[in-house]
Amino acid sequence: MHTRSRRGILVGIVGLAALAALVVPRSRTAAAKPAPGVEPGDPPLIDLQGYNDLVAKYRGKAVMVNFWATWCQPCRSEYPIIVELSKEYGPQGLVVVGVTLDEDSDMNLVRHFLATNHPDFPNYRQRPGIDPDAFYQGINPAWRGTMPQTDFYARDGHLARFFVGDKPRDAFVQAIRFVLAVPVGQDRGGTRPTVGN
């Protein structure tokens, strides 16, 4: 009886070990999956602090940040120009970043839009639930949420130019060449950023 009990315990232990081997990998896989509605490769969420950290990360480079949304027709028309300019001026030192203002419910449209346009630069998404006015004005005090919005940062990190609304390609080229030409550490003399034509 004692031997039989030990064998029963051994069989039970082996059975539990086999069951654990089946269950543990599944729970690890489930834990690694993103939250419902979020897919790998979706634009990471960003708030004002995250945005400021992002701009600071690229200090020493000229930066163009384009704010867009799939519900904004001028944004959709302008975005392919942004992609072209990134490819053209990236080798000259321009960093391009996109920030979408789409909501969670628009994520399928965002995925399709990015897959169609093939940007070679990172895109982020405004964190849902934050105060949009504080976000806009924290980025640029002159911005009231009009879309698209594009900001140009000189190499020293200051906001040197910005566009509110869609602009022709030539206006982008002028602003890009300007921020690429401003050397790091140049005294700004207290100048405010210039609105593009």
How sure is the predictor about 193, in pLDDT bands with cuts at 50, 70 and 90? low
Find the radius of gyration of the CA atoms of the chain. Answer: 25
Q: Is 75 designated active site?
A: yes
Q: Contact, 113 vs 82, CB < 8 A?
A: no
75, 82, 94, 154: which is the annotated catalytic residue? 75
pTM of the full predicted structure?
A: 0.76
Choice among 63, 64, 65, 72 that is catalytic: 72
72 is catalytic: yes
- Written as six digits, the tokens of 38 are 């979020």
56-78 pLDDT, tens digit per residue, is 999 999 999 999 999 999 999 99
C-alpha dihedral, 131 to 133 to 138 to 139, nearest 10°: 110
- Confidence (pLDDT) at 192: 46
Whether 51 and 84 have beta carbons less than 8 Å apart is answered as: no
Question: Rounded to an integer, what distance in angstroms lies between the CA atom of residue 130 and that of residue 148?
Answer: 19
State how far the alpha carbon of 159 is from the alpha carbons of 1, 27, 59, 142, 154, in Å.
84, 47, 11, 11, 7
